[in-house]
Amino acid sequence: MAPDTNTILPARMLNEFVYCPRLFYLEFVEDIFVHNADTLKGAAQHKRVDAGKGQLPTAKKKQAQSDEKDIRDQKLETLHSRSVSLQSERLGVTAKLDLVEIKDSGNGYSPRVRPIEYKKGAPKEGDEGFEIWDTDRIQLGLQILLLRENNYTCEEGEIYYRETRQRVCMAFDAELETWIETTIAAARKATQGERPPPLEDSPKCPRCSLVSVCLPDETRFLQETGAWRKVDPIQQLTLDMEFPSTNNRLDQGPFVEIPEVRLPTLKPGKDVRRLIAPASDTRALYLNTPGLYLSKKAECIIAKDKGKPVGEFRIMDLQHLALFGPVSVSPALVHTLCERDIPITYFSMGGWFYGMTRGHGLTNVFTRIEQFRNAADPELCLTHARIFAHGKIRNQRTLLMRNHMEPPRKALKLLKYLARSALVAPSLPTLLGIEGSAARAYFENFSGMIKSARESPDSKDENNTQQEFPFHFEKRNRRPPKDPVNALLSLAYSLLARDCTLAAWSAGFDPYVGFYHQPRYGRPALALDVMEEFRPIIADSVALTLINNRMLGSHHFTHAGDSVNLTPKGRKIFFLAYEKRLQSPVTHPVFNYKVSYRRALELQFRLLSKVLTGEIEQYFPFTTR
């Protein structure tokens, strides 16, 4: 029976299938592709090969066997054709051939051809000399098969390995043809099933471009771990204390018994390889001068103020572009950034994140299908929401323990209890109440993490004028923030919401459909869900660093009625501190290797995606010690 050819398979995807079925699935089925040094190098080396017109002499009738020897004995002129595209309707595959050597007898018979494929690596060392890797055999063999099906005479092909600068020849036979057709059928069948499991301790993984998406070791570890281990159940806990600032009954003893839930731990002698991609060399560009106009010139962004150039930035150095207030962007620049998948994010002058522009990034429909299904199920929403709230409360408690001058014993006990209570909350409203009680206890003691003016040198502005210490915190307020501390927290939360939105997009989610935060027009609910875990350890930490290290003073803030905002110079200091925090390393609480906070954001969304698609059982919050 003829195979189902509704799905056209490119030859390079069959190469990926032989190399790793999971890589094939991610790239072909889920349409996920990430460049790394190897893929960029390979693309650069193929530029000359891909520059051809792809023309071949017309295939006529094949030679009779009696004519073949006469044609081989002739001294025929060798022609070359580059970047040749062929297709087989019978097999349902396509291929783009790097180079085809052509020997045309000119006697009316089809020309004899030989495909040559270029590879950046080295050949395989076998018992009988150098051999071709299986991944290259499938690609070259398929090219030969396609040439034969298009009536060209082709008996062999070659792989040119750039690393060793040598050609390795491969003959075509019936055994190779059978293997190719079997592999095509297996690959087509794989497109109809679930995502294949990751390779186990494979040496292929470290240099794979999709290792930061696949997460092979991390996925296998979490699959083996299963659900959280419940150990050391706490006894009946009674707190003989009062919390006058809260009316929630959760803070009143005696408390019910709640088992302690801990993250999974690595077994002795067992490590998770740090296969996650290294930190990128690109950086975010923040522009907050009203009236700026941005245009594209060659490979640079030109910033003009009232027609005069005031800045020039290389596009290749850009991770994303953040615009505050009325900043205009030329259509040519927007097109270029969308093509290169560099997002443009928009903020009000007050720092409110209200939108973004980017290319077609949502290609992975399977993750979003499961996201929407989970979002429509109240029980599943509650399951995910409990963990987000638990992670946030734990990190709030950690920040108080680290930074408070006299860590408040009562508040720490309450936060510990509330973190456990979040995991057994019977409903979303109850969970919101638990989180509210935790936030109240946390912000009531937030001022204890701010060093008083007497403990640091006097603050002076650029004119050496004595400045009053402006960082006095009483309670959380926003929209607009009414004091410098709240202004810093609001701006930090806004930037963090932006970065979580970008991380959600990169993982294939719709950032506006959440589980804990319910959908609302213009609000990236899912980004805010995962953001809960990182509020204390990123946003609050940045604000405290700026205050306690005296990086900002009263002259860095403006007052308009009850509203307080940073000046342009103050924002520049803030942006530098925020980006520095995102690039700083932290030990992952589950995998025990170092990642930057920016990578940690993306990693959490990747893990959430694996939970929704059924690869792993449990999502784990990002918590620090």
Question: What pLDDT does 291 receive?
Answer: 85
Question: What pLDDT does 395 receive?
Answer: 94
Return the axis-axis angle of helices 525-534 and 597-612, rounded to nearest 10°: 130
Return the axis-axis angle of helices 174-190 and 11-19, rounded to nearest 10°: 80
Residue with the bigger pLDDT between 389 and 463: it is 389
Does position 2 have pLDDT exceeding 50, yes or no?
Answer: no
- What is the average pLDDT value for the chain, to the nearest integer? 79
Share of the chain above pLDDT 70, in %: 78
Q: Which of 38-42, 69-73, 119-123 has the lowest mean pLDDT?
A: 69-73
Does residue 601 contact residue 228 with C-beta atoms inside 8 Å?
no
Same domain, yes or no: 411 and 525 = yes
The set of residues, in sequence order, having a beta carbon less than 8 Å from that of 247 and lying 6+ positions away, is: none
DSSP 363-413: --HHHHHHHHHHHT-HHHHHHHHHHHHHHHHHHHHHHHHHH-SS--HHHHH
Residue 145 CA: distances (Å) to CA of 148, 170, 270, 329, 574? 5, 13, 46, 50, 61
**In b/e form, how buried is each residue of 231-243, taking b as 16+ CB within 10 angstroms?**
eeeeeeeebeeeb
Does position 242 have pLDDT exceeding 50, yes or no?
Answer: no
Does position 526 have pLDDT exceeding 90, yes or no?
Answer: yes
Per-residue tokens: 265: 């731990």
Question: What pLDDT does 576 receive?
Answer: 92
Q: Judging by DSSP bridges, how do beta strands 585-587 and 563-566 pair with one another? A: unpaired
Same domain, yes or no: 389 and 305 = no
Same domain, yes or no: 541 and 584 = yes
R_g of the chain computed on alpha carbons? 30
Residue that is last in its domain, among 309, 326, 357: 357
pLDDT band at 249 (very low <50, low <70, confident <90, very high): very low
Q: Which domain holds residue 232?
A: 211-262
Q: Which of 91-95, 492-496, 516-520, 548-552 has the lowest mean pLDDT?
A: 516-520
pLDDT band at 608 (very low <50, low <70, confident <90, very high): very high
Residue that is last in its domain, among 357, 392, 408: 357
Which of the 8 DSSP states describes residue 475?
S
Whole-angstrom distance, CA of residue 571 vs CA of residue 568: 5
CATH number of the domain enclosing 20: 3.90.320.10
250 within a domain of the structure (yes/no):
yes
Question: What pLDDT does 348 receive?
Answer: 81
Per-residue tokens: 383: 């399951």
2 within a domain of the structure (yes/no):
no
Same domain, yes or no: 290 and 249 = no
Q: Judging by DSSP bridges, how do beta strands 300-305 and 229-230 pair with one another? A: unpaired
Residue with the bigger pLDDT between 463 and 384: it is 384
In 536-614, which residue ranges form alpha helices assigned H by DSSP?
541-548, 568-583, 597-612
* Number of other CB atoms surrounding residue 419 within 10 Å: 25
Does position 48 have pLDDT exceeding 60, yes or no?
Answer: no
Same domain, yes or no: 84 and 175 = yes
277 within a domain of the structure (yes/no):
no
562 within a domain of the structure (yes/no):
yes
pLDDT in tens, 148-186: 888 888 888 888 888 888 888 988 889 999 999 999 999
Whole-angstrom distance, CA of residue 84 vs CA of residue 101: 11
CATH number of the domain enclosing 335: 3.100.10.20
Does position 100 have pLDDT exceeding 70, yes or no?
Answer: yes
228 backbone dihedrals φ, ψ, rounded to 5°:
-60, 145
CATH number of the domain enclosing 452: 1.20.120.920
pLDDT in tens, 265-294: 555 445 667 666 655 667 888 888 888 898
pLDDT band at 7 (very low <50, low <70, confident <90, very high): confident
Q: Which of 78-82, 151-155, 197-201 has the lowest mean pLDDT?
A: 78-82
Whole-angstrom distance, CA of residue 83 vs CA of residue 270: 47
3-state secondary structure of 101: strand
Best mean pLDDT range from 1-5, 120-124, 307-311, 543-547: 543-547
Q: Choose among 476, 490, 554: nearest CA to 351.
A: 490
Does position 430 have pLDDT exceeding 80, yes or no?
Answer: yes
Question: What pLDDT does 376 receive?
Answer: 92
pLDDT band at 442 (very low <50, low <70, confident <90, very high): very high
Same domain, yes or no: 257 and 294 = no
Does position 466 have pLDDT exceeding 60, yes or no?
Answer: no
Whole-angstrom distance, CA of residue 498 vs CA of residue 506: 13
Whole-angstrom distance, CA of residue 389 vs CA of residue 397: 12
Residue that is last in its domain, among 328, 357, 386: 357
3-state secondary structure of 25: helix
Q: Which of 159-173, 241-255, 475-489 has the lowest mean pLDDT?
A: 241-255
Best mean pLDDT range from 106-115, 143-152, 260-269: 143-152
pLDDT band at 248 (very low <50, low <70, confident <90, very high): very low
Mean of pLDDT values over 139-144: 90
H-helix or E-strand spanning residue 442: helix 428-444
Whole-angstrom distance, CA of residue 342 vs CA of residue 209: 19
Does position 4 have pLDDT exceeding 60, yes or no?
Answer: no
Which of the 8 DSSP states describes residue 537?
I
Does residue 238 contact residue 253 with C-beta atoms inside 8 Å?
yes
* Number of other CB atoms surrounding residue 551 within 10 Å: 14
Residue with the bigger pLDDT between 585 and 48: it is 585
222 within a domain of the structure (yes/no):
yes
Mean of pLDDT values over 221-233: 56
3-state secondary structure of 95: strand
Question: What pLDDT does 65 receive?
Answer: 47
Same domain, yes or no: 376 and 514 = yes
Same domain, yes or no: 353 and 370 = no
Number of folded domains that form the chain: 4
Same domain, yes or no: 571 and 494 = yes
Does position 308 have pLDDT exceeding 60, yes or no?
Answer: yes
Does position 346 have pLDDT exceeding 90, yes or no?
Answer: no
Does residue 81 contact residue 100 with C-beta atoms inside 8 Å?
yes
Question: What pLDDT does 6 receive?
Answer: 64
pLDDT band at 55 (very low <50, low <70, confident <90, very high): low
Residue 559 CA: distances (Å) to CA of 191, 469, 486, 548, 555? 59, 15, 13, 22, 10
- Positive or negative torsion for Cα 221, 222, 226, 227: positive
The set of residues, in sequence order, having a beta carbon less than 8 Å from that of 136 and lying 6+ positions away, is: 15, 117, 119, 159
pLDDT band at 514 (very low <50, low <70, confident <90, very high): very high
3 within a domain of the structure (yes/no):
no
Question: What pLDDT does 238 receive?
Answer: 32
Beta strands (DSSP E) in 3-76 are 9-10
H-helix or E-strand spanning residue 326: none
**Look-up of token digits 């396609």:** 146
pLDDT band at 215 (very low <50, low <70, confident <90, very high): confident
Does position 15 have pLDDT exceeding 50, yes or no?
Answer: yes
Same domain, yes or no: 402 and 540 = yes
Does position 40 have pLDDT exceeding 80, yes or no?
Answer: no
- Positive or negative torsion for Cα 373, 378, 382, 385: positive
Q: What is the pTM of this model?
A: 0.79
Mean of pLDDT values over 317-336: 87
- Positive or negative torsion for Cα 499, 503, 505, 506: positive
Same domain, yes or no: 586 and 453 = yes
Residue with the bigger pLDDT between 497 and 38: it is 497
625 within a domain of the structure (yes/no):
no
pLDDT band at 47 (very low <50, low <70, confident <90, very high): low
Question: Nearest-5° angle of CA 181, CA 187, CA 188?
Answer: 90
The burial of 404, by beta-carbon neighbours within 10 Å (0-12 exposed, 13-18 middle, 19 or more buried), is given as middle
**In b/e form, how buried is each residue of 276-286, taking b as 16+ CB within 10 angstroms?**
bbeeeeeebbb
Does residue 209 contact residue 26 with C-beta atoms inside 8 Å?
no
Mean of pLDDT values over 77-102: 83
pLDDT band at 620 (very low <50, low <70, confident <90, very high): confident
Same domain, yes or no: 73 and 218 = no
* Number of other CB atoms surrounding residue 616 within 10 Å: 23
Q: Judging by DSSP bridges, how do beta strands 318-324 and 283-287 pair with one another? A: parallel
